[in-house]
């Protein structure tokens, strides 16, 4: 029987260290704190010094990670073993980014050749679109790409497309995810089907929203260009190549991947096709190399928890969730191009670690994954930062910023970064009561509000890859400590099943739904659905 981590003496040792940490006092008694609490991995500098912990707490948390044997969990994952037990699959997004010539053994088989074959096909296809060698049915160049997908088949490419705005050298990309027809309408408005390539991205090729949107967009192509145009305007990325073919996608235009790539970990697979078309295979390769760099860092330091940056980030998160009672974590990039990163990390973390049953099927007794939220600075300062500075919730924050803007205007960039540094400092050290001021008590900042600052020289493809892999591994290590499976997502299934039944009732009016509350809502809906909007 697997040990529950909270019964281990190492857990009790951390509990015994729970106390209020005064950051100003910690810094004044420890001149090396800023340096010693800063980690470096690749181009990332990760400063954890303004968190509510001490060296002793950090060491005790590292012992918890050792006790949970996260190193063995990592070796099993990296060894391609079946670590996603509830779906009987290995988990090998790391294999998507091994360099040519390295092996990647997944379920006893070296998959590196398959990975590079697909990457090669994706790159050639992207180059053909970018260069104009491949055109639409009427011979016109593709100027626009529409990616249809949801969850991991949308959030990664959409986030990275915005993040790498300054590296775009290809057609514009647009993303349709919501089954709300407004999404498709808004995206297609102003697009010319003759110059638009449509990518249906779906690991399963069964996701209801994506399939409904794919049908609608296929109709748009047929209406504009005729049925014969579908084969040159519609491509698919999926593990379900047969379903894509029966949907009408030319098998030559189907890019595959594998069931050992989880949706939320799939940006490095062919799911990144829209991004490859936008930024080119070279920049995409740099992103993969950045991810690999962090994978290697983790492999090399997995037996030294305090030298392993994602692991330190993970135990810090556990400290807040399980010992200090924080329920959320905010991600605040001071980089507008990263404005979709919080949503991306929300799926990565919450779909991975939002679990209440452990690997062996027992209810967990601890809080697991936090609620992840956030948005770009400085905008957040004029919205939710009031609560962060003076509210009653403990919200650890990850600030992310860069030394240089990728495309000029260092002066305004300095103003942006001044705000990042100011926020982290003001949250940590606050401002005492000044009784001479009117409403003095309202102007007090208690301080001791924690943040981690992650810096890199610039938001390049490699740095983006490093950031993504850093968070992926942090999420993995948290799950490993809690003893949960971070790679399944059964929690999304019930809603899908229920929606299916309700969908029937909305159409045929026959009562499939038994609960009276939902029944009444459906009756109201049915009685209003044909009325025009007043
Ligand atoms: O929301 C559940 C989920 O399975 C995600 O994990 C996944 O990223 C998303 O749906 C999309 O799935 P698919 O790529 O199979 O359409």
- Say if residue 82 is in the same domain as residue 97: no
Task: Write out the residue range of the structural domain in which residue 472 sits.
Answer: 24-89+287-431+443-489
Q: Where are the beta strands (DSSP E) in 267-355?
A: 328-333
Whose alpha carbon is nearest atom 9 of ligand 1? 151
Active site (annotated) includes residue 19: no
Residue at a domain's end among 226, 249, 279 = 279
Query: Residue 55, class by beta-carbon neighbours within 10 Å (0-12 exposed, 13-18 middle, 19+ buried)?
Result: middle
- Alpha carbon of 16 to ligand 1 centroid (Å): 41
Residues 235 and 319 in one domain: no
Residue 194 and residue 243 in one domain: yes
Q: Does residue 10 lie in a domain region?
A: no
Q: Are 81 and 168 contained in the same domain?
A: no
Task: Give the mutation target among 200, 207, 209 for probing the ligand 1 site: most ligand atoms within 8 A of CB.
Answer: 207
**Of 253, 279, 305, which marks where a domain is finished?**
279
Is 351 tagged catalytic? Answer: yes
HEC letters along 387-456: HHHHCCCCCCEEEEEECCCCCCCHHHHHHHHHHHHHHHHHHHHCECCCCCCCCHHHHCECCCCCEEEEEE
Same domain, 308 and 409: yes
Examine the domain organization and report whether 336 and 449 are in the same domain.
Answer: yes
Residues 122 and 84 grouped into a single domain: no
> Is there a catalytic annotation at residue 496?
yes
**Residue 159, domain member (yes or no):** yes
Q: Which of 250, 279, 308 is the last residue of a domain?
A: 279
What is the CA(271)–ligand 1 centre distance, in A? 12
Rounded Cα distance, 176 and 170, in Å: 19
Determine the Cα–Cα distance for residues 177 and 428; give it in Å rounded to an integer.
39
Q: Which atom of ligand 1 is closest in space to residue 238's alpha carbon?
A: 14
Q: What is the CATH number of the domain that holds 350?
A: 3.40.50.10490
Reported as type and span, the H/E element at residue 175 is: strand 172-176
Instruction: Tell me whether the omega of the peptide bond preceding residue 378 falls within 30 degrees of 0, making it cis.
Output: yes
Q: Is residue 494 part of a domain?
A: no
Same domain, 301 and 409: yes
CA–centroid distance, 491 to ligand 1, in Å, is 12
Q: Residues 226, 316: one domain?
A: no
Residue of 72, 327, 393, 496 marked active site: 496
**Per-residue pLDDT tens digits of the chain, which is 534 residues long:** 589 999 999 999 999 999 999 999 999 999 999 999 999 999 999 999 999 999 999 999 999 999 999 999 999 999 999 999 999 999 999 999 999 999 999 999 999 999 999 999 999 999 999 999 999 999 999 999 999 999 999 999 999 999 999 999 999 999 999 999 999 999 999 999 999 999 999 999 999 999 999 999 999 999 999 999 999 999 999 999 999 999 999 999 999 999 999 999 999 999 999 999 999 999 999 999 999 999 999 999 999 999 999 999 999 999 999 999 999 999 999 999 999 999 999 999 999 999 999 999 999 999 999 999 999 999 999 999 999 999 999 999 999 999 999 988 999 999 999 999 999 999 999 999 999 999 999 999 999 999 999 999 999 999 999 999 999 999 999 999 999 999 999 999 999 999 988 998 898 888 888 899 999 999 999 999 887 665
Span from the CA of 489 to the centroid of ligand 1 (angstroms): 9
CA of 478 to the centre of ligand 1 (A): 22
- Domain assignment present for residue 130? The answer is yes
Q: Which of 199, 263, 273, 344 has most ligand 1 atoms within 8 Å of its beta carbon, as the pocket-test mutant?
A: 263
Who lines ligand 1 at CB under 6 A?
A: 150-153, 202-204, 207, 210, 263-264, 351, 489, 492
Kindly list the distances between the CA atom of residue 463 and the CA atoms of 4, 43, 93, in Å, as whole numbers in the listed order.
36, 7, 18
How many domains are contained in the chain? 3
Of these residues, 26, 209, 286, 351, which one is catalytic? 351
Query: Same structural domain for residues 319 and 392?
Result: yes
Q: Is residue 4 part of a domain?
A: no
Residue nearest to atom 2 of ligand 1 (CA): 492
């Amino acid at each position: 029987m697997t040990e529950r981590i909270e019964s281990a003496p190492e857990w009790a040792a951390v509990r015994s260290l729970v106390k209020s940490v005064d950051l100003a006092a910690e810094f004044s008694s420890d001149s090396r704190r800023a340096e010693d609490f800063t980690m470096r991995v690749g181009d990332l500098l990760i400063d954890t010094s303004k968190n509510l912990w001490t060296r002793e707490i950090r060491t005790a948390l590292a012992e918890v990670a050792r006790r949970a044997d996260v190193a063995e969990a990592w070796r099993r994952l990296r060894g391609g073993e079946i670590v996603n037990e509830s779906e009987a699959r290995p988990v090998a997004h790391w294999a998507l980014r091994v360099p040519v010539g390295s092996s990647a053994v997944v379920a006893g088989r070296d998959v590196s050749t398959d990975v590079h074959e697909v990457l090669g096909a994706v790159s050639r296809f992207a180059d053909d679109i970018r260069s104009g060698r491949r055109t639409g049915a009427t011979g016109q160049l593709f100027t626009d790409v529409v990616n249809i997908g949801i969850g991991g088949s949308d959030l990664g490419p959409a986030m990275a497309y915005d993040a790498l705005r300054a590296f775009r050298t290809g057609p514009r990309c647009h993303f349709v995810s919501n089954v709300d027809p407004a999404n498709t309408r808004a995206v297609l408005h102003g697009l010319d089907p003759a110059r638009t390539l449509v990518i249906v991205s779906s690991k399963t090729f069964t996701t209801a929203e994506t399939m409904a949107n794919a049908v609608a967009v296929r109709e748009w192509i047929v209406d504009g260009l005729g049925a014969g145009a579908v084969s040159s305007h519609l491509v698919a990325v999926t593990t379900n190549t047969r379903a894509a073919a029966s949907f009408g996608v030319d098998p030559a235009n189907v890019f595959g991947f594998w069931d050992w790539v989880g949706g939320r970990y799939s940006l490095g697979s062919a799911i990144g096709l829209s991004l490859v078309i936008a930024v080119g295979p070279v920049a995409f390769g740099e992103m993969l190399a950045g991810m690999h760099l962090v994978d290697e860092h983790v492999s090399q330091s997995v037996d030294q928890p305090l030298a392993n940056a994602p692991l330190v980030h993970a135990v810090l998160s556990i400290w807040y969730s399980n010992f200090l009672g924080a329920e959320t974590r905010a991600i605040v990039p001071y980089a507008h191009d990263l404005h979709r990163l919080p949503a991306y990390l929300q799926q990565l973390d919450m779909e991975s670690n939002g679990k209440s049953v452990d690997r062996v099927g027992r209810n967990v007794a601890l809080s697991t994954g936090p609620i992840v939220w956030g948005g770009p600075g400085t905008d957040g300062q004029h919205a939710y930062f009031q609560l962060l500075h003076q509210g009653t919730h403990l919200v650890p924050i990850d600030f992310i910023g860069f030394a240089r803007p990728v495309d000029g205007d260092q002066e305004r960039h300095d103003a942006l970064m001044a705000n990042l540094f100011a926020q982290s400092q003001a949250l940590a050290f606050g401002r005492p009561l000044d009784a001479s001021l009117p409403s003095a008590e309202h102007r007090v900042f208690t301080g001791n509000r924690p943040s981690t600052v992650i810096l890199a020289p610039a938001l390049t493809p490699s740095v983006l890859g490093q950031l993504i892999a850093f968070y992926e591994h942090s999420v993995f290590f948290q799950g490993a400590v809690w003893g949960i499976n971070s790679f399944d997502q059964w929690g999304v299934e019930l809603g899908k099943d229920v929606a299916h039944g309700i969908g029937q009732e909305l159409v045929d009016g026959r009562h499939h739904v038994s609960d009276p509350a939902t029944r009444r809502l459906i009756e109201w809906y049915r009685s209003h659905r044909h009325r025009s909007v007043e």
